[in-house]
Amino acid sequence: MNTITDNSLMLQVKAGQLDKLGLLYERHKHKLFGFFFKMNADRQLSEDLVHTLFERILKYRESFSDKAHFVAWIHRMAINVNNDHYRKNGKMRANSDVEILVNKESSYDTVEVKINATEQQQQLQKALNTLEKEKKELLVLSKYQGLKCSQIGQLMDLSEGAVRVKIHRALKDLKTAFLKLENE
């Protein structure tokens, strides 16, 4: 089966075939929800921001270049949507309703193991939320969204090497924050 690339679909959207945006939405809604959820720890807000992002994609479709990589372009827009939301609505709120979901399809030996895994994920989310905005974005994009350093470099206007160094430092800070929370 011949699958149309994201770039091809976006170029069709840019050319006026707006129905193709639905295909892009179906392909990317879950990953984008994951991005917003990792950034905000709020399910409803994350869903709203995904919809806002696709409205913005439609509005600014002319800015997409045939030389651009769609995944990098859409994540740049996602970062902007997230930043705009907090610019309009005030600072990011504290992580009061962290909803870390344990993969329901995973099989755990005991309830205790499942509880421990959930607690560790919650601690990790809390540690992630203590990081500076740029470090948090880097980790979410690289570790949770699976973007390559070259793609992140395009998003943040950094060299690939600089991205690697910043991710390494962010991971180091995350580890420190995680261990600090565990010892509290």
116-141 per-position pLDDT tens digit: 667 777 888 888 889 998 998 898 88
Question: Whole-structure pTM over 0.75, yes or no?
Answer: no
Return the CATH fold of 1-95: Rna Polymerase Sigma Factor; Chain: A (1.10.1740)
CATH of segment(s) 100-184: 1.10.10.10
132: alpha, beta or left? (left if phi > 0; alpha if psi -120 to 50): beta
As a whole number of angstroms, the distance between CA 129 and CA 150 comes to 25
Report d(CA 115, CA 93) in Å as an integer: 26
Distance of alpha carbon 121 from alpha carbon 166, whole angstroms? 23
Q: Where are the chain's structural domains?
A: 1-95, 100-184
In contact, 94 and 128? CB cutoff 8 Å = no
Choose among 152, 144, 138: nearest CA to 46: 144
The pLDDT tens digits for 7-19 are: 999 999 999 999 9
